[in-house]
């Protein structure tokens, strides 16, 4: 991931939930990281998030899923866009 440091923007594409049902979004990393605070946006199967110094800001949610339901699934603090 060293190449991510020099990139102007870094986007991550993934599924929101792991096979066991827990969220893949985390407040902090438990493994050593090489690209600290380099991700700008996360695209998942259920929503799109901007990554800011304050946390995850929801840009879009799939039809039929409420912000409250997404918050429960994500299991990290989420903000709605201003």
pTM of the model: 0.87
Asked if residue 46 lies in contact with residue 16, where contact means CB atoms within 8 angstroms, the answer is: yes
Among residues 74, 81, 78, 59, which one has the least CA distance to residue 25?
74
pLDDT in tens, 20-36: 999 999 888 888 877 77
Asked if residue 76 lies in contact with residue 55, where contact means CB atoms within 8 angstroms, the answer is: yes
Q: In what order do the strands lie in the sheet with 11-13?
A: 11-13, 41-43, 47-52, 55-61, 78-79
pLDDT in tens, 6-16: 788 999 999 99
């Amino acid at each position: 991931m060293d190449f991510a440091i020099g990139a102007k923007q870094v986007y991550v594409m993934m599924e929101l939930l792991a096979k066991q049902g827990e969220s893949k979004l985390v407040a902090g990393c438990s493994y050593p990281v090489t690209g600290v605070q380099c991700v700008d946006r996360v695209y998942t199967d259920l929503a799109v998030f901007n990554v800011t110094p304050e946390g995850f800001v929801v840009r879009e949610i799939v039809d039929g899923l409420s912000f409250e339901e997404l918050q429960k699934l994500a299991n990290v603090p989420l903000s709605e866009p201003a």
